[in-house]
């Protein structure tokens, strides 16, 4: 579970955190790393062409199939009921997008009502109606349009077994009493429904349309841009949507006249081009993370150093302890790992130095999310305490330590080096570990399958889909997230924690919910199913004419919606 690739989408789960997140080398961009990073002193202006250099050979603009964050590529084309206000150095804030507010409930979170703003139009000039939002959501249930985020599928009442609207079946739990009103009936109270409404499937699709498999190549837009040219594997060009109104959109300044996604670009080559900053690359930025080796190059180039922006924090990297395996079924044994792991060595293995890798982690809720509380149930030096670990193992009935444990890690990026750092530290604590290095597909097959318990430990990371502790904790620690495509890699199951998660999810009041989620964080850590390692950092490079290029406190990606170019 570290980033599956460097595109800003979904939870960013994968093993081997390698090139996924780093701070600038050798003091480069020292406080840009705080997310303060307005990338230049230029005042953002309208006009010009912005180019986004992307390593993948395709970018999905079908909202039903997308896992794109609310501030990245998809949101240039599609609006949603709600969105995120992301500013430099500040936590993300839930704000209205197509809707007039972030949703209201009068029954404690089971029924949610949204009203659309006046005058909303699709790119074909037709009005955006409540029925179009309903259709887009229903369309996401069709098997041929799978792959997107699924929070709404699990929460809408009566959605179990629903297969989409194309054969006439409709969801009664999405009501449209008039052209501007949507009423959602959930299977249970859920306080974060407003955040869920910011996920891609809440983008409207004109009712009756979007049956074709390639809708993502020719979508009908609700955002400020339309896809004007698509060359598969080469580039996607966007131009202005003449029917989009800035007056109804507070999160998209839509500064460039056009945006080009240049596909299939090797990440190391992208960095070299942006460092050189010549010709068209002056108005481009890289969608992928800058690697540690390239950060050294950037640090030695004053011009490039000024054009690097680094996140304050990012995905949580952690070591999963398979709670269904042998001695690891015992929580007292698992607690020994909190002291046995050398987090400082893991930082070095990740990016060369602690400063490059990210801060040591002791909690599970991602840094930068509102309501997060810092605590440490297992205080020790970042380098660990092997003697304390041995003491705990002996007290748990293992005076000779443990041997033959299998550590699962993806060979992607520098995962093996990180696993070796974990292995070396555990040996000092009397814990023998064999590395199980796999390709990415085999890694995910082991993590996501119910009975695939052939590993004892797994190296993983996680960034939530939306900035709520809910999206941190439920996907990793709820019993329902074990197997069947879930990401509970520790196979952790606690009835009391499940009940606490359900209670926190049902809490509508923001402050009360935050306290409930902190209590879940502490309860999980008390059981020690994972060892938090570091909060990883991401660095991105831009051309000299790219303006308003910054990273907020969450997520650890540039706000694509704010970026412009200067002449």
SS (HEC) of 219-235: CCCCCCEEEEEEECCCE
Q: CA–CA separation, 353 vs 44, rounded Å? A: 35
pLDDT at 25: 24
Scored b (16 or more CB within 10 A) or e, 460-496 reads bbbbbbbbbbbbbbbbbbbeebbbeebbbbbbbbbee
Question: Over its length of 567 residues, how does the chain's per-residue pLDDT go in tens digits?
Answer: 433 333 343 343 443 333 332 222 222 223 333 333 444 446 778 999 999 999 999 888 999 999 999 999 999 999 999 999 998 878 899 999 999 999 999 999 999 999 999 999 999 999 999 999 999 999 999 999 989 999 999 999 999 999 999 999 999 999 999 999 999 999 999 999 999 999 999 999 999 999 998 999 999 999 999 999 999 899 999 999 999 999 999 999 999 999 999 999 998 899 999 999 999 999 999 998 888 778 878 888 999 999 999 888 889 999 999 999 999 999 999 999 999 999 999 999 988 777 778 899 999 998 888 889 999 999 999 999 999 999 999 999 999 999 999 999 998 878 999 999 999 999 999 999 999 999 988 998 899 886 656 899 999 999 999 999 999 999 999 999 999 889 999 999 999 999 999 999 999 999 999 999 999 999 999 999 999 999 998 889 999 999 999 999 999 999 999 999 998
3-class secondary structure, 504 = helix
pLDDT at 452: 55
DSSP at 68: B
Q: Angle formed by the axes of helices 510-527 and 495-505, to 10°?
A: 160
For residue 121, what are the β-bridge partners? 127
For tokens 């599970």, name the residue: 364
CATH class of 317-353+360-535: alpha beta
Residues 6+ apart with CB under 8 A from 327: 333, 396, 398, 402
Q: In what order do the strands lie in the sheet with 181-185?
A: 111-115, 181-185, 174-178
pLDDT at 351: 81
Pairing outcome for strands 530-536 and 316-321: antiparallel
Q: CA–CA separation, 383 vs 370, rounded Å? A: 29
Write the CA distances from 224 to 61, 85, 245, integer angstroms.
14, 17, 8
Q: CA–CA separation, 544 vs 76, rounded Å? A: 22
Q: Is the peptide bond preceding residue 555 cis, with omega within 30 degrees of 0?
A: yes
DSSP at 119: T
Pairing outcome for strands 530-536 and 358-360: antiparallel
pLDDT at 27: 25
Q: Angle formed by the axes of helices 469-477 and 510-527, to 10°?
A: 30
In what helix (H) or strand (E) does residue 184 lie, and over which residues does it extend? strand 181-185
Question: Which residue ranges make up each domain of the chain?
Answer: 17-49+269-312+537-567, 62-223, 317-353+360-535
pLDDT at 560: 97
E strands present in 10-71: 49-53
3-class secondary structure, 295 = helix
Q: Tell me which fold the domain 62-223 belongs to.
A: D-Maltodextrin-Binding Protein; domain 2 (3.40.190)
């Amino acid at each position: 579970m570290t980033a599956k690739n460097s595109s800003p989408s979904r939870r960013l789960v994968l093993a081997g955190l390698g090139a996924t997140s780093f701070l600038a080398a050798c003091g480069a961009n020292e406080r840009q790393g705080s997310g303060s990073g307005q990338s230049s002193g230029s005042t953002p202006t309208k006009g010009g062409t912005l180019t986004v250099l992307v390593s993948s050979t395709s970018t999905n603009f079908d909202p039903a199939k997308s896992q794109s964050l609310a501030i990245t590529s998809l949101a240039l084309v599609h609006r949603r009921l709600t969105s995120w206000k992301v500013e430099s150095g500040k936590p993300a804030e839930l704000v209205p997008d197509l809707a007039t507010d972030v949703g209201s409930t009068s029954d404690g979170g089971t029924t949610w009502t949204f009203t659309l703003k006046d005058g909303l139009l699709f790119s074909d000039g037709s009005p955006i109606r409540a029925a179009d939002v309903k259709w887009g959501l229903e369309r996401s249930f069709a098997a041929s349009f799978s792959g997107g985020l699924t929070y709404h599928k699990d929460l809408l009442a009566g959605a179990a077994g629903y297969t989409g609207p194309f054969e006439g079946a409709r969801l009664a739990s999405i009501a449209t009493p008039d052209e501007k009103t949507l009423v959602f009936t959930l299977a249970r109270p859920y306080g974060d429904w407003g955040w869920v409404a910011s996920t891609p499937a809440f983008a409207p699709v004109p009712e009756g349309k979007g049956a074709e498999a390639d809708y993502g190549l020719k979508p009908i837009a609700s955002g400020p841009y339309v896809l004007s040219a698509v060359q598969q594997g080469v580039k996607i060009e966007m131009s202005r949507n003449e029917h989009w109104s800035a007056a109804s959109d507070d999160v998209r300044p839509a500064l460039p006249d056009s945006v080009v996604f240049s596909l299939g670009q090797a990440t190391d080559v992208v960095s070299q081009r942006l460092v050189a900053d010549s010709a068209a690359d002056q108005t481009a930025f890289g969608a992928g993370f800058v690697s540690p080796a390239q950060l050294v190059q950037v640090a030695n180039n004053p011009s490039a150093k000024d054009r690097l922006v680094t996140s304050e924090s990012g995905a949580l990297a952690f070591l999963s302890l398979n709670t269904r395996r042998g001695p690891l079924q015992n929580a007292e044994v698992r607690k020994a790992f909190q002291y046995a792991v050398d987090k400082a060595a893991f930082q070095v293995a990740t990016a060369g130095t602690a400063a490059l890798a990210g801060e040591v982690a002791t909690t599970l809720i991602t840094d930068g999310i509102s309501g997060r509380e810092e605590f440490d149930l297992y205080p020790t030096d970042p380098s660990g305490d092997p003697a304390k670990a041995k003491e705990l193992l002996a007290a748990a009935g293992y005076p000779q330590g443990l041997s033959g444990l299998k550590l699962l890690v993806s060979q992607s990026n520098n995962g093996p080096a990180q696993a070796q750092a974990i292995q070396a530290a555990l040996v000092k604590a009397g814990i023998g570990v064999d590395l199980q290095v796999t390709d990415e597909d085999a890694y995910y097959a082991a993590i996501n399958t119910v009975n695939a318990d052939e590993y004892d430990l797994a190296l993983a990371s996680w960034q939530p889909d939306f900035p709520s502790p809910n999206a941190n904790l439920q996907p990793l620690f709820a019993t329902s997230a074990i197997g069947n495509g879930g990401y509970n890699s520790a196979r952790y199951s606690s009835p009391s924690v499940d009940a606490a998660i359900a209670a926190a999810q049902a809490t509508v009041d923001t402050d009360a919910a935050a306290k409930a989620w902190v209590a879940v964080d502490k309860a999980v850590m008390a059981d020690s199913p994972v060892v938090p390692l570091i909060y990883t950092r991401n660095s991105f490079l831009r051309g000299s004419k790219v303006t308003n290029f910054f990273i907020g406190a969450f997520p650890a990606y540039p706000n694509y919606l704010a970026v412009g170019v200067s002449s």
